[in-house]
Amino acid sequence: MREQSTLRGRLRHIIFDYDTLPAKAFDLALIVAISCSVLVVMLDSVGPLHTLYGPLFLRLEWFFTFLFSIEYLLRIYTAKSAARYMRSFFGIIDVLSIFPTWLSLFIPGTQYLLVIRFFRVLRIFRLLKLMQYVKEANFVRDSIAASARKIFVFLFFVFVLASIVGGLMYMIEGEENGFRSIPEGIYWAIVTVTTVGYGDISPQTTIGRVLAALLMITGYSVIAVPTGIVTSEMSALRRSRGKEVYCPNCPSAVHSDDSRFCRYCGTRLQKPEEG
Amino acid sequence: MREQSTLRGRLRHIIFDYDTLPAKAFDLALIVAISCSVLVVMLDSVGPLHTLYGPLFLRLEWFFTFLFSIEYLLRIYTAKSAARYMRSFFGIIDVLSIFPTWLSLFIPGTQYLLVIRFFRVLRIFRLLKLMQYVKEANFVRDSIAASARKIFVFLFFVFVLASIVGGLMYMIEGEENGFRSIPEGIYWAIVTVTTVGYGDISPQTTIGRVLAALLMITGYSVIAVPTGIVTSEMSALRRSRGKEVYCPNCPSAVHSDDSRFCRYCGTRLQKPEEG
Amino acid sequence: MREQSTLRGRLRHIIFDYDTLPAKAFDLALIVAISCSVLVVMLDSVGPLHTLYGPLFLRLEWFFTFLFSIEYLLRIYTAKSAARYMRSFFGIIDVLSIFPTWLSLFIPGTQYLLVIRFFRVLRIFRLLKLMQYVKEANFVRDSIAASARKIFVFLFFVFVLASIVGGLMYMIEGEENGFRSIPEGIYWAIVTVTTVGYGDISPQTTIGRVLAALLMITGYSVIAVPTGIVTSEMSALRRSRGKEVYCPNCPSAVHSDDSRFCRYCGTRLQKPEEG
Amino acid sequence: MREQSTLRGRLRHIIFDYDTLPAKAFDLALIVAISCSVLVVMLDSVGPLHTLYGPLFLRLEWFFTFLFSIEYLLRIYTAKSAARYMRSFFGIIDVLSIFPTWLSLFIPGTQYLLVIRFFRVLRIFRLLKLMQYVKEANFVRDSIAASARKIFVFLFFVFVLASIVGGLMYMIEGEENGFRSIPEGIYWAIVTVTTVGYGDISPQTTIGRVLAALLMITGYSVIAVPTGIVTSEMSALRRSRGKEVYCPNCPSAVHSDDSRFCRYCGTRLQKPEEG
């Protein structure tokens, strides 16, 4: 259990947990701050607004950088293990999100730094915790994790298909119809097989269109594969998460709630109290 | 039970219910009127037709406004609780759908009023009741409601992904390739991840296209997630809607509610009390 | 049982059935003829080919018309009930597919007659019977039929949504951005919500794009609804089609193959022989 | 069991298997080589790179061709049955992937040979074996195989629909709106029904757009059919892959194969013989 006697302990609780009012308040404030800072980055990218409010945006950018820097230092100070926090995913996100602005002091800030700065938005996922969506988030995450390998196989197939069709289209359509290279053909094939279909490149020759039609129909029907995978994983996950009975002898054993005897040691099981 | 002795009671029955002939007739008439009024708004928006039949459309608009105003007053008069009706969803829709035309007497009608007027079409959902599609509608609604939280998590993820990729694309492609701002980049990312793909904005640089391809493939396969969620909810809903009977001898045996004898030991089963 | 002694009986068997060699041969020949005739119509529509082979195509068109006319007369002659055949779906298709060419003798053939002529391709569905895909076709048809009402509710919702968003976009974007009328706005909304996304019309204003993005995300995730409906119907259909046991007393009663007693009369059931 | 005493046996083991270190190493090297060779073909197709590094790419192309030729000869030499290998799918792929370069000695290499050369990428599927994704790959393959006939019926329907709508659109829109022939109309219909929507051809007339909207909504909702098919096949496949144990006392009870006692009566269960 957590010791909250010291200031450090209390701070840690407020910063890292989300089960009491102050901790919730901190997280909420943080999310608001992140949203605002991201909003500033967004608006600053809009030409007209930049010319009008550029300096204001810069000042705000610095304000948020200070804020997040203080937060970062507090996290390092209060974390049970500073090292583990700094090496953690969000630890890295946190430092990366403040780093660019500081760096721009020494190197004039290029737009490429913005790339890093923008990852700050990931912190917003804490909102799910605040809104008690953790169970749902885990369910989605688990079912994706359980499907990951099968989905990988599927995407691998899609990519190989796209490569071959992309190569074929480059030869069939050629540069005069916008397929200027095989990589471009593959890009077109992915745009097509995923049914996005920008139309920035589209086949003109008859045989090219026949091949394109086949690719579309393939993409249109193989979408059924990942869907089927995830769906059957989710149904399985749901079933496995039904009411469960535990055996007094085999703590590990989980039984469906219609079991009357442990299927490992034959002991009579106690029904769980209905909640 | 409803008292239909008074005129008010009879009117209320006709207006709010849909189980007797006059009530059905009223609803049908109302839907026809709504469809016509919406049709008028539509046709009036077509330039050539407006120049030809503008005055006629205006007269029809007023005719329907009178009609719906009378209906609204009748509803207030006959409703069990006028206040509750006026605060109800359709109560608000009803007043909003007549409000703009009346307002246009004092303020010359702007097209923005049309916005409100167009919500009138929502009333058409009563058609489902007329066609006895309520059970199906409820099934769809319930399964969506049961999936809502998981779907929210999913859409939250999609939106964060779109924001980050949109930000990245703004930096990679830049204004010269149509990504004039981060919000525009996010708009493009949503167009792409949902596989809509207008092509009004599309990446030109190699790295931009690689990132776009990754986003497309992500959007193409993560569609499996909401589908899986809704499907497993629906299957669960179907199962849970089958009433079940238990056999006193075979605790394991579950019987569909049309069973009169246990199919394992032949014991006569007790029907469950209807809930 | 069919009497095949008379010529008429034998012809009827060959034309309407597909379980013996001659009947199969007839169907196959018919499908080849249909495919060729449709191919002729297609190629004749290609400008260059028409100028080159126009007269040839016309002669072929007449050849197929004669062929199908003879087939039609034979069907009327051999059908158990000529009237029922002529009123049947394929009976109408058959006559419609020959009618236009004959009519073109009196009225110079307009392209609109082609519309009718093209329905001939529907006859090709008999291929499924030839290839013994009837069971699969029925499975697909039954599951769609079982989902029809729920899907109707869904499409009804999508259409109402498209109408409202289409109306809103007309007001937001206006004619200058290609939304020249509400019907056009609704067309755009359908193009968007179904994730087709031609890009022939696309929003330009910020608020228009926000609304478009919301519509895309809706269309992207509500696709889960029909999918869920059909999937759960199909799974239910599969289960209900599992091995079944019949009770000697209650002919109507169907029991899952793990039943030992009829659940209606308690009679001991006989296991079916494994096939 | 494999005899590895002879050199031939040892080579065969290394080339055809993937369960020991040397065999794994060989496969990995092969995949790297294939990837590089494909990469060379790709880069060579990029105009600027070709002008710069054309000769280098040619030399690399020859290097890989020698490599794969040696591999091919080794496979013929070591294969249990050289004839069966040469007639196998990958046997043909292997020879086709080296054939064009050799041929280009006698006939100046046309781009059409590239088509064949590009199939080499298929060999990369061995990566799945290396990464032990065979089980997942088989699961996906089996469920697709099980759905194949139903999906064929579905695609058949989609194609007939596309043909008819394509024909109709040609007549409705005509050449002036980009529908220059029925085949082009069918191409458009496929682009639309699969929700790809390039927008290179799009309807302009009101009736054309109404028909297009109907086609989109059809395509948008019938995607549910293949999805439902594959999903229910996958769920069935999952269930059928769980080995089951039966209790001698409770005929109804089905136990997962890790059960040692019946969960209804506590009787000790017999394990089934592994098949």
Q: Name all domains of chain C by residue range, CATH numbers in brackets.
A: 2-128 (1.20.120.350), 133-241 (1.10.287.70)
pLDDT tens by residue, chain B, 275 residues: 445 578 888 888 888 777 788 888 888 888 888 888 888 888 888 888 889 988 898 889 889 889 989 999 999 988 888 899 888 888 888 888 787 778 777 776 554 565 566 676 777 777 777 677 778 888 888 888 888 888 888 888 888 889 889 988 988 888 888 898 889 999 999 999 999 988 888 899 989 999 999 999 999 888 888 898 998 888 888 777 654 445 555 544 444 444 556 655 666 665 443 33
Structure tokens at D57: 């790419």
Residue B59 burial (C-beta neighbours within 10 Å; 0-12, 13-18, 19+): exposed
| Spatial contact of C166 and C188, defined as CB atoms under 8 Å apart | yes
- Tell me, what's the pLDDT at C272? 44
CB contact under 8 A, B199 and D195: no
d(CA D137, CA A156): 10
Lowest mean pLDDT among A187-201, A255-269, C154-168, D113-127: A255-269
Whether C251 shows a pLDDT value over 60: the answer reads no
CB nearest to B232's CB, from A186, A190, A234: A234
CA distance A195 to chain C (A): 8
- Tell me, what's the pLDDT at C275? 31
Residue B64 burial (C-beta neighbours within 10 Å; 0-12, 13-18, 19+): buried
Strand partners, D261: D268
Residues of D whose CB is below 8 A from A224: 147, 151, 223, 226-227, 229-231
Closest to C168 measured CA to CA, from C192, C194, C151, C196: C192
More confident residue, A10 or C190: C190
Which residue of chain A has the CA closest to D159? A217
CA distance D266 to chain B (A): 13
More confident residue, D157 or D274: D157
Burial string for C215-251 (b: 16+ CB within 10 Å, else e) reads bbbbbbbbbbbbbbbbbbbbbbeeeeeeeebebeeee
| Spatial contact of D15 and D26, defined as CB atoms under 8 Å apart | yes
CB contact under 8 A, D198 and B195: no
Model confidence at D7, in pLDDT bands (50, 70, 90)? confident
Where do the H-state alpha helices sit in chain A? 7-16, 21-45, 47-78, 82-87, 89-106, 111-118, 126-130, 134-173, 182-193, 206-222, 224-240
- Tell me, what's the pLDDT at B272? 44
What's at B185, amino acid-wise? G
Which of B202, B252, B254, B262 to mutate against chain D (most D CBs within 10 Å)? B252
- Tell me, what's the pLDDT at B252? 44
d(CA B76, CA B84): 9
Which of A227, A229, A232, A234 to mutate against chain C (most C CBs within 10 Å)? A227
CA distance C271 to chain A (A): 26
What's at B148, amino acid-wise? A
CB nearest to A45's CB, from B152, B160, B170: B170
Name the neighbours of B, counting chains with at least 3 Cβ pairs within 8 A. Answer: A, C, D
- Tell me, what's the pLDDT at A243? 44
Which of D192, D231, D261, D265 to mutate against chain B (most B CBs within 10 Å)? D231
Lowest mean pLDDT among A132-136, B21-25, B143-147, D208-212: A132-136
CB contact under 8 A, C221 and B133: no
- Tell me, what's the pLDDT at D189? 94
Which of C209, C230, C232, C261 to mutate against chain B (most B CBs within 10 Å)? C232
Cβ count within 10 A of residue A12: 21
d(CA A121, CA B161): 9
A115 contact partners, CB below 8 Å, separation of at least 6: B167, B168, B171
Q: What is the DSSP letter of D272?
A: P
| Spatial contact of A251 and D258, defined as CB atoms under 8 Å apart | no
What's at B13, amino acid-wise? H
Structure tokens at D213: 């909207």
Find where tokens 């009004």 sit: B200
Which residue of chain B has the CA closest to D192? B196
pLDDT, mean over chain A = 80
Total residue count of chain B as it appears in this document: 275
What's at A199, amino acid-wise? G
- The mean per-residue pLDDT over the stretch D74-88 comes to 88
Residue A127 burial (C-beta neighbours within 10 Å; 0-12, 13-18, 19+): middle
Instruction: Return the sign of the alpha-carbon dihedral for residues C198, C204, C207, C208.
Output: negative
d(CA C184, CA B104): 25
d(CA A238, CA A260): 22
- The mean per-residue pLDDT over the stretch C203-226 comes to 90
- The mean per-residue pLDDT over the stretch D181-193 comes to 92
- Tell me, what's the pLDDT at C255? 47
What's at C58, amino acid-wise? L
- The mean per-residue pLDDT over the stretch C139-160 comes to 86
d(CA A129, CA B152): 13
d(CA A222, CA A151): 12
Structure tokens at A194: 């995923």
D73 contact partners, CB below 8 Å, separation of at least 6: none
- Tell me, what's the pLDDT at A275? 31
Which residue of chain D has the CA closest to B263? D252
Size of interface A-D (CB pairs under 8 A): 175
Which of A231, A232, A238 to mutate against chain C (most C CBs within 10 Å)? A231
d(CA B88, CA B72): 13
Residues of B whose CB is below 8 A from C171: 111-112, 114-115
Report which listed range, D5-9, D93-97, D152-156, is most confident. Answer: D152-156
What's phi and psi for D246, nearest 5 deg? -115, 145
CA distance A43 to chain B (A): 8
Residues of B whose CB is below 8 A from A41: 167, 182
Residues B203-207: contacts with CB under 8 Å, at least 24 apart = B203/B169, B203/B172, B203/B173, B203/B177, B204/B173, B204/B177, B205/B172, B205/B173, B205/B177, B206/A183, B207/B172
CB contact under 8 A, C140 and D209: no
Whether C81 shows a pLDDT value over 80: the answer reads yes
CB contact under 8 A, C198 and A198: no
Total residue count of chain D as it appears in this document: 275
Please report, for residues A44, A64, A234, the alpha-carbon distance to residue A69 in angstroms, rounded to integers and kept in the order given.
Answer: 21, 8, 41
| Spatial contact of D193 and D223, defined as CB atoms under 8 Å apart | no
CB contact under 8 A, B250 and D231: no
More confident residue, C262 or A187: A187
- Tell me, what's the pLDDT at A90? 80
Cβ count within 10 A of residue B268: 10
- Kindly state the percentage of chain D with pLDDT values over 70: 81
Name the neighbours of A, counting chains with at least 3 Cβ pairs within 8 A. Answer: B, C, D
d(CA B203, CA B213): 10
Find where tokens 């579309």 sit: A216
Model confidence at A260, in pLDDT bands (50, 70, 90)? low
- The mean per-residue pLDDT over the stretch D269-274 comes to 48
Which residue of chain B has the CA closest to A181? B206
pLDDT for D146-173, tens place per residue? 888 888 888 888 888 898 899 889 888 8
- Tell me, what's the pLDDT at D125? 74
Whether C26 shows a pLDDT value over 90: the answer reads no
Whether C178 shows a pLDDT value over 70: the answer reads yes
CB contact under 8 A, C41 and D227: no
Model confidence at A1, in pLDDT bands (50, 70, 90)? very low
Whether A146 shows a pLDDT value over 90: the answer reads no
- Tell me, what's the pLDDT at A247? 55
Closest to A249 measured CA to CA, from A270, A261, A265, A260: A265
CB contact under 8 A, D181 and C125: no
More confident residue, C258 or C52: C52
Whether D216 shows a pLDDT value over 90: the answer reads yes
Whether D179 shows a pLDDT value over 50: the answer reads yes
Whether C105 shows a pLDDT value over 70: the answer reads yes
| Spatial contact of D164 and D158, defined as CB atoms under 8 Å apart | no
Please report, for residues A225, B188, C170, C188, C208, the alpha-carbon distance to residue C176 in angstroms, rounded to integers and kept in the order given.
Answer: 43, 21, 10, 15, 13
Whether C154 shows a pLDDT value over 80: the answer reads yes
Residues of D whose CB is below 8 A from B253: 252
Please report, for residues A17, A71, A72, A83, the alpha-carbon distance to residue A79 in angstroms, rounded to integers and kept in the order given.
Answer: 11, 12, 10, 9
pLDDT, mean over chain C = 80
CB contact under 8 A, D232 and C238: yes
Which residue of chain C has the CA closest to D194? C196
d(CA D82, CA C126): 44
- Kindly state the percentage of chain C with pLDDT values over 70: 80
- SS3 of residue D124 by DSSP: helix
CB contact under 8 A, A155 and B221: yes
Model confidence at A38, in pLDDT bands (50, 70, 90)? confident
